[in-house]
Each structure stands twice: as structure tokens, then as C-alpha cells.
């Protein structure tokens, strides 16, 4: 053999060496230099399981739990384990057919994969759960997973409490991915505002999973796990009995009521009609009920107490009087010779009384609710010589209004409070074409709470607190204290513990206005608001509005000395303020002050709660909806033969208008809105612009 | 006593210890990614219900076989080399015709519930036959026709193996060129082959423009460096220019043509996925076809090489410097790396023992390979030398390709890691290869023909 080939041994050794060197280099690169693989491996194999704590409870002012947590069960399915399932038995328990069964199975495979459990039937009822439990052995791959659900023992305060529901993508994004798909979160009301408190602290369990996402045990024997901390309880100022009464009185009515303790600003009751049972939005029927309610033209989901914008009408007059007194334009003895209307601005502004000295002084004018008197003093305020021109005068007046809490957000601890409207001069400049082209005469009805002025029931009730307290108020709020209050909680709640000295109007001014308001109840427009043994101060309002019948309003506080409750009631399209609003307010005040309603007035409670004041247009909408539902139910398959006359479906456009859609419209009020079934009342984008004149 | 002497006399113990160490590491690796906390360890071995149990049985069989081989006379291997080679080829052909299909390759023979892959065993036979041919008195391995015959002996089983759809195994036979090189094969064949492979991979990874510029640059630099030699030989200049032209032609014309015109879209996709590049056909029809094919194959093993490599790199990379510890690797223990007991077994070591452990582990292999070269070079007979080099080459090829593919340096072709990977045929083959070598080495003073 040729010996010189011996040297090739070296070459082969070199080749081996180079290759091993390359491998070692790459290993060094992967294992020592690059750091990303560790993270990738962690993501691969470690599953962060979030342990949900139980949500905090909300208590009322007497420490009664307004809501509670109960355990409900989700029927979960792990598709790859589904073998030899007694499909028929399962279907008959769940009352679905096999096609639906298959569909749900396929859906869960698509959504979550074959190896991870997904919800087959969410929140099964207790009867179903018992039935399923018995038969579980027949259904391999199915199991019941516990899930806490809110329960509302009083069936009340739906708008205040809000509801808890699954997060959507926008919430996830806003929380910068703190929440994950499938988490439950407070979606409205106090549940939303105090989410951070009620939610508690989620615990994290690190679990090992395999390539098919099956859990294999705890990671590092639970070394990094953190325990879940239960949500903290929240103590509110709400009086649940008063709340229940308010909702009872507001049955079949549209409007809102807010009752506040003027000494603390704590809201005692807040109801909005139409309302709903909060239990409808907890548990299994959430989707069905939510869908139904969001499509309802009466908009039961809307909290009118903080979002309804109503012209305050005559309920504004005490404030008008205060402004005039404070600016020194009138004295309490100032009188106006009203002859049944205010004639100084062209078109007369009518007054319900004529002559007889019904506006001989401020107190009398308030008691008799003289339009002329307050229109007149409003003009005096706007045209005040102290200010350069009408615009300046008006802005000063607006400043007073904003200080009273009108036209601004008060900052109640509920989401999406409305600021309603104290119009800016720019609005009038646009309406009349320039700041010099309008004067106090053009906006004269602002003096009696009409024109472009609107307020929410909350703002009206807060204004009452201001008058009751003679010049200050606390920002209305629900939550008085939080269990184990932290620094952040204190910071958050501090704005509700701070006194707002609204203006520096003299106590004597308040005193005279209070006396005027007391007269309203004792011998004025709201004699039915009287409560024996209590000096009730109130003011009725009958607000003209573009949607039909006048709104019935009433604001009050009681007792006059050392006030304990301030209240504002609005009943939409129901007539005079004294007809519905004042008895409602009166009953609620009695309930709160006396802790019970005298037997004499029990009948009144029943009468009011039974009264149906829903506008005809909305009733018609319900009627149409019911008819369609009936028609669907009746549509049984008919045998079609030659003689059967197939009726062409009558296409009739039902035209109903939506009084809530545009509460501030100042046009004739006859604008009708063709309502397609697909048109959501909330959806502004869908609103047909063609209805604009 | 006399018998004991014949077995142990002249045996290279270092190789035996390395062999035992590697087999134990292999068993422990298989155990590590199969064992779950709280399970019985012994029971699966007795009931043969788990892979490490089966592998333990195979280790037993191999030990018996090793003793048996060491008891065999060395002359037996020289005498029966050609016969065995023929037998091996025949088995391969039989498997091709009547074999059982496992994972798409028709290379398995089932004899009484016992599965055997003849193409694995034929590595041994081919190695013997090649040694036999080269060591023949009448073979002059400086002649080209001898080279051709040797190449034919090496590549005939490869062709059958390709027909069986076991491309990875077929490639192993190319490792015999290393042996032939040692015995006198002109080096340019090795260089040309390696260059072709490099050009092929380069032209898959880089755009053809970049590559052409690169080639031109290399050629110009070479010409510049060797300009003083041109006076003596014009040939050198022309050779460089010629090489440059060939390389450019191959990468710019031949390979794109081969890939785009000859291959089917799914093959193209696979080729690109081997080098870790996504393949998006320009032709919309072709794209639709490919999408359809991918949708059909989603989750199946053929289409997963990219995924495998990513997971494998994660597993090895997450091991860090010192590793997570034995039985602590999250990636390998919970099946994130597919095929991890067979082709991707190295991940278990990489994840569990980190960089230090991996280096020690490949160090064991390196010692084994260099020891084999030492053994080969000390043989008196050509047969033994060629055979030893053959064993070294096969080991080398398997180790290189297997480890490189787990760390993303080589395309994923399923070949096992010698003595470590799960699989009876593979363990058996490597044991036979190694122990025949040890047997021959024990008789290194003899001249075998």
C-alpha cells in the first residue's frame, strides 16, 4: 500500500476537529450567548394560571349586603376525551338536538383546540346541574367547572350597581393586557368604578404544561405561585329599602329620581325608569336579556338619573332667585305685577296665575311659581349694568349655574355621567348670527328653566343639597368607605369628603328661598307633598319638551332646619309636577325620615306604582314587537295546496319616534323616525340622517 | 479461562468504556423524557410498555451480540464480507418489494413480530465489502477504475435506500468517500463534492446576484494572490477562471432551473424549509396549490421540519451554561420537541446539562472518533484499516448530521445519533460495527485478506 497516504490521516483528523469545533461554537452561541431561548422555553412549557378571588360585596348604609356571590357551574368539554358519550341523554338534559351538540363540539375545537377544555354550556341552572351531576359518568370528556356569579337579593339598584360580564377586546387593550379573554369585569355602575377594589388581587399559579397544553403539575413545586386575595368590600350610602321603594314607584314610568343626604353627599337612592332586575344580567341569561334590553326603544339600560337630560322647568326658580338676590338686583321684598303673562319681550310668556299679588315678593313668587317674576329677574341678571354687555352678563349668570353644579359633571362615582347643558354663548351666537344680535329677550325662558337649559336628576338633587345646606355641597357619591382602605382609595374618596363652597351667597338669601320653597308645599303648587310633622321644602316643575306631554318634575329637601334628605324626581311626559313627581318625592322622603310610610299613604304608593305613564309611542313599539313574536309563534308549517292563498307579507313601515334619541331637540317634536329592526337605538352611526329637517 | 483470554486479549478497553458510557447516557436520556414523576421505574422495563424498557432489552441483546462477535474468528469477516454484502442487498430489495411501510418509507421487514431495517444493517456489510475490495491483492487503488468500483460498492445500497424513501440513511453511504480518500482517492473529488454541497446551500440561502458578486470577488482575490505563479503555469489562471465560471453557472442557472422547473412545488417548499427560508411561489396558481397541500398536511410530520428545528433550538438554548438538571428539562420532558427520543435526543442532553454537559458529551464522541483513527492506523492489514476508517466515517457522519440538525446547522434528515437514539436497529448496527472493529483490532498483528 502506498505509504504516503499516511499523511491523509492528518487531513481526516483535521476535518473531524473542524466539524466538532463548529458544533461547539454553535452550542456556545445557542446556550451561552443568546438569551431568548430561555424565555421561549418558559412560554412554551409554563402556564400561568390565574386564580380568581371572590369579588367584594357592596353594602348599603345599614350594612345590608346589596349583592352576593353564588357559585354556578359551567359545563366544560375537552373534545379529545369525548368518546362513547351518551349523546342522547346529554341532549335531552340540555334540551338541544344532536346537530346542535355536534356544532358546539366543533366550535369548541375551533376556538380552543382539542386538548383544552372549553365551555359547552355556560352557567347551567341548579336543576340542570343536579341532573348533570347524576349522569356525569355517561359523559366522558365533560365536566362542571365552578364559577362565582353575582346574586342580587333585593332585585334592585341595577343601574347603580352595574353588572359583571366578560371582557371584550377594547377593555383588554385599555387595561394594557391585564385582563385576558374570558375574564369577568365590572362593566357598569359601581362594579366598574370600584373594579380595582372589588376585584381583589388575582393569584398566579405556575403550572407545567405539555406540547398539547395539558397541565402536568405545578412548576418548581409552586415556588413562584402567588395567592389570590379576595376583593374588598365596599360600604355605600345607598338605603336599599328606599331604593326598592323608588323602583316600585317608578314602575311603568320613564324618568329618574335621586335622593341625597345633603350633609354628606351620600346618595340614598337612585332609580331610573324603566329599570330591570339586576339578576337578569347575572348568570345564564345575560346574552339574551342584554340583547333584548339594548334593543328596547325605552332603553332600560340607560341610567336616566345621571344621563337623562331634562329641562328643569320651574324647579330652577329657586336658583334664579338666589342669583338675583346675590347680585343685589332684588331684595326679598321685591315684587312683580304679573297679570298672567310676561309681555316685555314680544311673545308673552304665560303664567298660571294672574294678579292678586301672587308675585308680591320673592317668597310668594316661589310659592305660586310665577313665570313672569322669574323671567323678569333673569333678565335683570343678564342685563345687569355691572357688566359691559349682555354676553358678559350672561356669562356671569352661567358661572353661577356651573357653581351650582349645573352644566358640569359633578363627578359621581358612576361611569358616564352626563353634564347636561347650560348653553354657552357660542350656541346663541350661532343661532342668532352673532353676539350682538341677541339679547336677554331672546333667551328669556332660561329664567324658568326652559330654552336650551337641561339638567340631570342628579344635578337637580345636588342643587337641592346646596340650598338645604345654605351654600355648600359634597360631591354626590355612593361609596362612603372601603374595607381596608389603602392610600389610593383615600385619595380617590377624598374628593367625596371635601366640602364644595359653591358661591358666597348670604345665608339670609338661602333662608328666604327655603321659606319660599316651604310655602310651595304648605300652600303652593305641591300641597300633596306634605309630610305631617316635617317642614318639607320643595318646588314643582312642569317642563315643556319637544317629545310630547310635559315632564313632571319635583325637587325638595326636608326638613328645612337640619335637612336630612334632598331629592329630585323627573317623570317624563306625565304632566304637572304636582301630579306625579311631588307625591313620589314625598313618599320617598317620608320613608326615609320616618323609616316607614304611614298606613294612610300606603294606598298612594300602590296607586302610583300601578300608574302606567309610558308614552303611547313606546307602548306602540312594544305592541309591534309582541305582535311579531306572536306571529312567529303561530307560524306553524301549513300544508300548502292549490287553494291556499299565500298572503303577501304586508310591508308597513311602523313609524315611531324615539324620545330618548335626541332629548334636546328644539324642533316641532313631530319628527318621526322610521325604525328598521336593525337600527339600534344606541347606535349613533346607524341613525338616519334623512330625518333631519 | 482460556476462552476469557481469547475474548479480552488485545481488546481496546478505552473504546469499550466509551461505548458503555454512551449507551448508558442514551438510556438515561430516553428515560428522562419518558419518565413522569411518581411512576414506577422498573415496571415498564419488565412489561416492555415504554421505550426505555424496550431500549434496555435491546442493550441486553447488543451486549450478548458484542460478546458473540468478540468470540468470532477475525477471518470470518474477511471470508464472508462479499457474501454478507450480497445478502444485505438482497434483504434491502426484499424490503423494497414486500416490506412494511413505516412513516412513508418502505424499508422495514417484519419477521415474527420483530421489525428490522435491512438498510441499517447493510451499512455494516457495505463497510466490510469495501474493506474487502480495497484490501484485495489485485486491487490497485491508484487506478480510476478501482475508484469507480469502490464507489459502486458504496453507493449501490444507497440507491436502493433512496428507492425505499429513506434519503437520510442513503446519504450516510457518501461517508465512505472519506475512507476512499484515505486509501488514495484524489482529493479533488472530496473538495469538489464538498464545494458542490456548499454552493447548493449558499444558493438556497442567498439571492443569486449576491452570490455571483461573491464568487467574482473570491475569484479576483485568488487571482491577485496567486499572480506570481501565472508565469510558470498559465493553467492555474485558467483553472481559477474555469472554477469561477462553473460555480457561477451552477448557482445562477443549474440550481434555479433544477428547483423551479424540475421539482414540484411541495418539494421546493421542503427544500427551502430545510434552510429555514419561507417559500412563496410567484405564480398564483402554484401558490394556491401549495396552500392546499399545506392545509392538508397541517400537523403532519413531513411538514414540520421547520417547527422541529425551532423547538429543538429552544430546548437546547434554554439549557444555558449549566443546564436545568437531569429530569428538570421542561421542553424535552413535555414533548415540545417532536421525535425527541430518536432524531432529536441531543435536546435532552442540551437542555438538562447545558453547554458544559453538551461539550463533555460531544467530547466523548470526539475521543471515540480519534481513538478509531488511532486504531485504524495501527492495523497491519489493509482490510482492518479500511474497515476501521469506515466505522469512523459512519459514526462521524451520523454524529455531525444529527447534532447539526438539532442546533440548526444542517437540514433535518432523520438519522439517529449513534448509541444514544432510541431504536433497536440503529443500536444493533452501531454495536456490530464497533465490535467487529474491536475484534479485528484485537488481531491487528495478523494480516487479513
Task: Inspect the interface and report whether the beta carbons of A37 and B316 lie closer than 8 Å.
Answer: yes
Measured between beta carbons, the chain B residues lying within 8 angstroms of A221 are none
Q: Which domain holds residue A122?
A: 48-236
In this structure, is residue B264 part of a structural domain? yes
- C-alpha distance from B319 to closest chain A C-alpha (Å): 6
Mark whether A26 and A124 lie in a shared domain.
no
Summarised one tens digit per residue, pLDDT across range B343-380 is 899 999 999 999 999 999 999 999 999 999 999 999 98
Measured between beta carbons, the chain B residues lying within 8 angstroms of A2 are 142, 184
Measured between beta carbons, the chain A residues lying within 8 angstroms of B373 are 9, 12-13, 16
Of B313, B369, B377, the CB nearest to A16: B369
In this structure, is residue A83 part of a structural domain? yes
State the Cα–Cα distance between residues A306 and A458, nearest whole angstrom. Answer: 6
Mark whether A19 and A127 lie in a shared domain.
no
Cell numbers for A236: 355605600
Distances (CA, A) of B231 to A667, B234, B243, B358: 105, 6, 19, 51
Mark whether B357 and B404 lie in a shared domain.
yes
Of A236, A261, A277, which closes a domain?
Answer: A236
Cell numbers for A654: 311602523
Mark whether B252 and B283 lie in a shared domain.
yes
SS3 A534: strand
Residues 6+ apart with CB under 8 A from A84: A140
For residue B124, the model assigns a pLDDT of 93
Residues 6+ apart with CB under 8 A from B253: none
Of A218, A236, A254, which closes a domain?
Answer: A236
Mark whether A100 and A208 lie in a shared domain.
yes
State the Cα–Cα distance between residues A354 and A373, nearest whole angstrom. Answer: 12
Among candidate residues B378, B380, B415, B323, the one with its CA nearest the CA of residue B105: B415
Of B141, B182, B314, the CB nearest to A8: B182
Instruction: Indicate which CATH number applies to the domain containing A163.
Output: 3.90.1310.10
In this structure, is residue A65 part of a structural domain? yes
For residue A592, the model assigns a pLDDT of 94
State the Cα–Cα distance between residues A686 and A673, nearest whole angstrom. Answer: 12
Instruction: Note the pTM of the prediction, 2 decimals.
Output: 0.62
Mark whether A113 and A20 lie in a shared domain.
no
For residue A639, the model assigns a pLDDT of 53
Measured between beta carbons, the chain A residues lying within 8 angstroms of B330 are 41-42, 44-46, 208, 219
- C-alpha distance from A8 to closest chain B C-alpha (Å): 6
Of A8, A40, A209, the CB nearest to B314: A40
Q: Is A26 on the interface with B (CB under 8 A)?
A: yes
In this structure, is residue B67 part of a structural domain? yes
Task: Inspect the interface and report whether the beta carbons of B142 and A212 lie closer than 8 Å.
Answer: no
Mark whether B243 and B309 lie in a shared domain.
no
Mark whether A12 and A80 lie in a shared domain.
no
Half-sphere exposure of A61 (CA within 13 A, CB side): 18
Task: Inspect the interface and report whether the beta carbons of B359 and A12 lie closer than 8 Å.
Answer: no
**Residue B30 banded pLDDT, cuts 50, 70, 90:** very high
A interface test, pick of B317, B406, B410 with most A CB neighbours within 10 Å:
B317
Of B141, B317, B392, the CB nearest to A31: B317
Mark whether B288 and B307 lie in a shared domain.
no
Task: Inspect the interface and report whether the beta carbons of A8 and B37 lie closer than 8 Å.
Answer: no
Domain count, chain B: 2
Of B301, B330, B364, which closes a domain?
Answer: B301
Is residue B332 within 8 Å of residue B340, measured between CB atoms? yes
How many residue contacts between A and B have a Cβ separation below 8 Å?
119
Q: Is B374 on the interface with A (CB under 8 A)?
A: no
Mark whether B118 and B260 lie in a shared domain.
no
In this structure, is residue B190 part of a structural domain? no
Mark whether B165 and B23 lie in a shared domain.
yes
State the Cα–Cα distance between residues B387 and B127, nearest whole angstrom. Answer: 6
State the Cα–Cα distance between residues A411 and B418, nearest whole angstrom. Answer: 75
Is residue A254 within 8 Å of residue A614, measured between CB atoms? yes
State the Cα–Cα distance between residues A85 and A139, nearest whole angstrom. Answer: 5
Mark whether A91 and A225 lie in a shared domain.
yes
User: Is beta strand A234-236 parallel, antiparallel or unpaired with respect to A58-59?
Assistant: parallel
In this structure, is residue A667 part of a structural domain? yes
Q: Which domain holds residue B349?
A: 2-185+302-442
State the Cα–Cα distance between residues A449 and A187, nearest whole angstrom. Answer: 34
Mark whether A127 and A12 lie in a shared domain.
no
Q: Complex ipTM, two decimals? A: 0.87
Q: Is A38 on the interface with B (CB under 8 A)?
A: yes
Mark whether B163 and B308 lie in a shared domain.
yes
Mark whether B264 and B311 lie in a shared domain.
no
Task: Inspect the interface and report whether the beta carbons of A37 and B350 lie closer than 8 Å.
Answer: no
pLDDT over threshold 50, residue B101: yes
Listed by number, the residues of chain B in 266-325 with a beta carbon closer than 8 Å to a beta carbon of chain A are: 311, 313-321
Mark whether B244 and B175 lie in a shared domain.
no
Q: Name the residue with higher pLDDT: B269 or A293.
A: A293
Kindly report whether the peptide bond that precedes residue A274 is cis, defined as omega within 30 degrees of 0.
yes
In this structure, is residue B130 part of a structural domain? yes
Domain count, chain A: 3
In this structure, is residue A308 part of a structural domain? no
Mark whether A10 and A85 lie in a shared domain.
no
Mark whether B418 and B287 lie in a shared domain.
no
In this structure, is residue A605 part of a structural domain? no
Residue A448 DSSP one-character state: G
Mark whether A223 and A94 lie in a shared domain.
yes
Written as one string, the DSSP assignment of A445-495 is GGGGT-TT-BB-HHHHHHHHHHHHTTSEEEPPBSEEEETT--HHHHHHHHT
Measured between beta carbons, the chain A residues lying within 8 angstroms of B396 are 16, 19
Of A236, A269, A303, which closes a domain?
Answer: A236
Mark whether B260 and B330 lie in a shared domain.
no
Mark whether A148 and A208 lie in a shared domain.
yes
In this structure, is residue A581 part of a structural domain? no
In this structure, is residue B449 part of a structural domain? no
B interface test, pick of A26, A30, A223 with most B CB neighbours within 10 Å:
A30
Q: What is the mean pLDDT of each run of 10 residues along chain A (693 residues)?
A: 68 91 92 84 77 87 90 83 84 88 88 78 82 84 81 92 88 83 84 90 80 74 80 93 94 93 94 91 84 89 92 92 91 88 86 83 90 91 88 91 92 91 88 85 88 92 94 93 88 88 86 93 88 91 88 93 94 90 93 91 91 87 88 68 49 42 42 41 44 40
pLDDT over threshold 90, residue B35: no
Q: Is A20 on the interface with B (CB under 8 A)?
A: yes
Mark whether A28 and A174 lie in a shared domain.
no
Task: Inspect the interface and report whether the beta carbons of B400 and A19 lie closer than 8 Å.
Answer: yes
Mark whether A86 and A62 lie in a shared domain.
yes
pLDDT over 90 for what percent of chain B? 35
Of B301, B329, B362, which closes a domain?
Answer: B301
Of B283, B301, B319, which closes a domain?
Answer: B301
Cβ–Cβ contacts within 10 Å for residue B229, how many?
Answer: 12
For residue A655, the model assigns a pLDDT of 39
**Residue B270 banded pLDDT, cuts 50, 70, 90:** low
Summarised one tens digit per residue, pLDDT across range A311-348 is 999 999 999 999 999 998 999 999 888 888 888 888 88
- C-alpha distance from B334 to closest chain A C-alpha (Å): 4
In this structure, is residue B447 part of a structural domain? no
In this structure, is residue A17 part of a structural domain? yes
For residue B295, the model assigns a pLDDT of 63
For residue A635, the model assigns a pLDDT of 73
Mark whether B308 and B227 lie in a shared domain.
no
Amino acid at each position: 500500500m502506498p505509504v504516503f497516504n499516511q499523511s491523509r490521516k492528518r487531513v481526516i483528523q483535521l476535518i473531524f476537529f473542524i466539524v466538532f469545533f463548529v458544533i461547539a461554537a454553535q452550542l456556545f452561541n445557542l446556550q451561552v450567548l443568546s438569551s431568548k431561548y430561555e424565555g421561549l422555553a418558559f412560554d412554551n412549557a409554563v402556564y400561568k394560571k390565574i386564580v380568581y378571588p371572590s369579588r367584594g360585596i357592596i353594602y348599603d348604609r345599614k350594612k345590608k349586603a346589596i349583592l352576593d356571590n353564588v357559585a354556578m357551574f359551567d359545563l366544560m368539554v375537552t373534545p379529545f376525551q369525548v368518546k362513547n358519550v351518551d349523546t342522547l341523554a346529554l341532549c335531552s338534559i340540555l334540551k338541544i338536538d344532536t346537530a346542535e351538540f355536534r356544532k358546539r363540539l366543533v366550535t369548541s375545537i375551533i376556538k380552543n383546540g382539542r386538548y383544552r377544555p372549553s365551555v359547552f354550556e355556560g352557567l347551567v341552572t341548579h336543576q340542570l346541574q343536579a341532573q348533570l351531576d347524576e349522569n356525569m359518568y355517561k359523559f366522558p370528556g365533560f365536566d362542571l367547572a365552578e364559577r362565582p356569579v353575582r346574586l342580587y337579593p333585593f332585585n334592585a339598584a341595577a343601574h347603580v350597581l352595574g353588572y359583571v360580564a366578560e371582557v371584550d377586546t377594547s377593555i383588554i387593550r385599555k387595561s394594557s393586557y391585564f385582563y385576558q379573554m374570558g375574564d369577568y369585569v365590572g362593566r357598569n355602575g359601581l362594579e366598574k368604578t370600584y373594579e380595582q377594589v372589588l376585584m381583589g388581587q388575582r393569584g398566579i399559579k405556575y403550572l407545567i404544561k405539555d406540547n398539547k397544553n395539558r397541565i402536568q403539575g405545578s412548576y418548581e413545586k409552586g415556588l413562584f405561585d402567588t395567592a389570590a386575595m379576595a376583593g374588598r368590600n365596599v360600604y355605600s350610602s345607598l338605603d336599599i329599602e328606599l331604593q326598592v321603594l323608588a323602583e316600585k314607584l317608578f314602575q311603568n314610568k320613564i324618568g329618574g329620581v335621586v335622593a341625597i343626604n345633603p350633609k354628606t353627599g351620600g346618595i340614598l337612592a337612585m332609580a331610573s325608569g324603566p329599570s330591570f332586575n339586576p339578576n337578569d344580567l347575572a348568570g345564564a341569561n345575560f346574552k339574551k336579556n342584554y340583547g333584548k334590553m339594548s334593543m328596547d326603544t325605552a332603553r332600560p339600560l340607560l341610567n336616566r338619573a345621571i344621563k337623562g337630560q331634562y329641562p328643569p322647568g320651574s324647579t330652577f326658580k329657586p336658583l334664579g332667585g338666589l342669583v338675583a338676590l346675590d347680585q343685589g338686583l332684588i331684595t326679598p321684598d321685591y315684587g312683580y305685577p304679573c297679570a298672567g303673562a310676561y309681555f316685555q319681550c314680544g311673545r308673552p310668556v304665560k303664567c298660571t296665575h294672574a294678579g292678586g299679588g301672587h308675585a308680591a315678593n320673592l317668597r310668594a313668587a316661589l310659592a305660586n311659581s310665577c313665570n313672569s317674576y322669574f323671567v323678569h329677574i333673569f333678565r335683570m341678571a343678564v342685563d345687569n349694568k355691572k357688566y359691559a354687555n349682555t354676553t358678559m352678563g350672561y356669562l356671569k349668570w352661567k358661572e353661577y349655574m356651573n357653581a351650582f353644579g349645573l352644566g358640569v359633571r359633578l363627578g359621581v362615582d358612576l361611569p358616564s355621567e352626563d353634564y347636561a347643558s347650560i348653553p354657552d354663548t357660542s350656541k346663541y351666537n350661532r343661532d342668532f348670527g352673532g353676539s350682538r344680535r341677541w339679547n336677554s329677550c331672546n333667551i328669556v325662558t332660561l329664567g324658568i328653566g326652559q330654552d336650551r337649559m337641561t339638567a340631570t336628576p342628579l344635578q337637580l338633587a345636588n342643587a337641592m343639597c346646596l340650598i338645604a345646606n345654605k351654600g355648600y355641597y359634597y360631591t354626590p357619591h355612593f361609596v362612603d368607605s372601603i374595607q381596608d382602605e389603602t392610600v389610593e382609595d383615600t385619595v380617590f374618596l377624598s374628593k367625596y369628603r371635601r366640602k364644595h363652597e359653591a358661591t358666597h351667597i348670604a345665608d339670609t338669601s338661602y333662608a328666604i328661598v327655603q321659606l319660599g320653597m316651604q310655602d310651595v308645599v304648605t300652600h303652593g303648587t305641591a300641597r300633596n307633598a306634605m309630610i305631617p310633622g316635617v317642614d318639607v321644602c320643595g318646588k314643582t316643575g312642569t317642563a315643556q319638551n319637544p317629545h310630547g306631554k310635559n315632564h313632571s318634575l319635583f325637587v325638595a329637601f326636608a326638613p328645612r332646619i337640619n335637612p336630612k334628605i334632598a331629592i329630585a324626581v323627573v317623570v317624563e311626559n306625565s304632566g304637572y309636577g304636582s301630579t306625579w313627581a311631588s307625591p313620589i318625592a314625598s313618599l320617598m322622603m317620608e320613608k326615609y325620615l320616618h323609616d316607614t310610610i304611614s298606613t294612610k299613604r300606603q294606598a298612594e304608593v300602590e296607586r302610583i306604582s300601578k300608574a302606567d305613564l309610558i308614552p303611547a309611542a313606546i307602548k306602540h313599539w312594544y305592541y309591534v314587537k309582541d305582535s311579531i313574536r306572536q306571529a312567529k309563534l303561530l307560524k306553524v308549517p301549513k300544508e300548502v295546496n292549490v287553494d291556499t292563498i299565500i298572503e303577501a307579507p304586508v310591508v308597513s313601515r311602523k313609524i315611531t319616534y324615539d324620545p330618548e334619541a335626541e332629548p334636546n331637540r328644539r324642533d316641532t317634536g313631530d319628527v318621526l323616525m322610521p325604525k328598521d329592526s336593525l337600527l339600534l337605538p344606541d347606535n349613533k352611526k346607524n341613525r338616519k340622517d334623512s330625518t333631519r329637517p | 479461562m482460556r476462552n476469557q483470554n481469547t475474548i479480552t486479549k488485545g481488546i481496546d478497553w478505552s473504546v469499550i468504556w466509551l461505548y458503555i458510557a454512551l449507551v448508558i447516557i442514551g438510556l438515561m436520556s430516553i428515560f428522562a423524557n419518558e419518565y413522569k414523576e411518581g411512576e414506577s421505574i422498573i415496571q415498564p422495563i419488565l412489561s416492555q410498555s415504554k421505550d426505555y424498557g424496550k431500549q434496555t432489552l435491546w442493550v441486553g441483546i447488543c451486549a450478548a451480540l458484542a460478546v458473540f462477535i468478540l468470540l468470532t474468528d477475525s477471518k470470518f469477516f474477511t471470508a464472508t464480507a462479499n457474501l454478507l454484502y450480497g445478502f444485505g442487498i438482497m434483504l434491502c430489495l426484499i424490503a423494497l418489494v414486500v416490506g412494511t411501510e413505516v412513516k412513508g418509507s418502505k424499508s422495514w421487514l417484519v419477521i415474527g413480530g420483530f421489525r428490522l431495517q435491512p438498510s441499517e444493517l447493510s451499512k455494516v456489510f457495505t463497510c466490510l465489502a469495501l474493506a474487502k475490495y480495497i484490501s484485495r491483492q489485485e486491487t490497485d487503488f491508484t487506478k480510476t477504475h478501482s475508484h469507480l468500483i469502490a464507489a459502486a460498492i458504496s453507493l449501490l445500497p444507497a440507491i436502493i435506500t433512496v428507492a425505499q424513501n429513506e434519503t437520510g440513511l442513503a446519504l450516510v453511504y457518501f461517508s465512505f468517500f472519506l475512507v476512499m480518500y484515505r486509501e488514495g482517492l484524489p482529493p479533488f473529488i472530496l473538495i469538489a463534492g464538498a464545494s458542490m454541497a456548499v454552493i447548493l446551500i449558499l444558493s438556497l440561502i442567498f439571492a443569486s446576484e449576491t452570490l455571483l458578486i461573491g464568487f467574482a470577488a473570491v475569484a479576483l482575490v485568488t487571482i491577485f494572490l496567486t499572480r506570481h505563479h501565472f508565469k510558470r503555469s498559465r493553467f492555474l489562471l485558467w483553472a481559477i477562471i474555469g472554477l469561477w465560471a462553473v460555480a457561477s453557472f451552477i448557482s445562477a442557472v443549474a440550481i434555479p432551473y433544477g428547483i423551479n422547473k424540475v421539482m414540484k412545488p411541495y418539494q421546493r417548499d421542503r427544500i427551502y424549509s430545510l434552510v429555514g427560508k419561507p417559500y412563496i411561489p410567484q405564480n398564483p396558481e402554484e401558490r394556491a396549490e401549495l396552500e392546499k397541500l399545506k392545509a392538508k398536511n397541517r400537523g403532519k410530520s413531513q411538514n414540520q421540519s421547520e417547527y422541529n428545528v425551532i423547538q429543538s433550538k429552544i430546548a437546547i438554548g434554554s439549557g444555558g451554561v449549566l443546564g436545568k438538571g437531569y429530569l428538570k428539562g421542561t421542553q424535552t420532558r413535555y414533548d415540545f420537541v417532536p421525535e425527541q427520543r430518536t432524531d432529536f435526543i441531543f435536546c435532552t442532553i442540551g437542555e438538562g446539562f447545558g453547554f458544559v454537559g453538551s461539550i463533555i458529551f460531544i467530547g466523548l464522541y470526539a475521543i471515540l472518533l480519534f481513538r478509531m483513527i488511532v486504531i485504524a492506523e495501527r492495523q497491519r492489514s489493509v482490510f482492518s484499516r479500511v474497515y476501521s476508517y469506515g466505522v469512523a466515517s459512519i459514526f462521524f457522519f451520523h454524529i455531525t448530521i444529527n447534532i447539526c440538525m438539532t442546533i440548526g446547522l444542517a437540514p433535518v434528515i432523520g438519522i439517529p445519533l449513534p448509541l444514544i437514539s432510541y431504536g433497536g436497529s440503529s443500536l444493533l448496527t452501531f454495536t456490530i460495527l464497533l465490535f467487529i472493529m474491536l475484534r479485528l483490532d484485537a488481531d491487528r498483528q495478523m494480516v487479513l485478506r
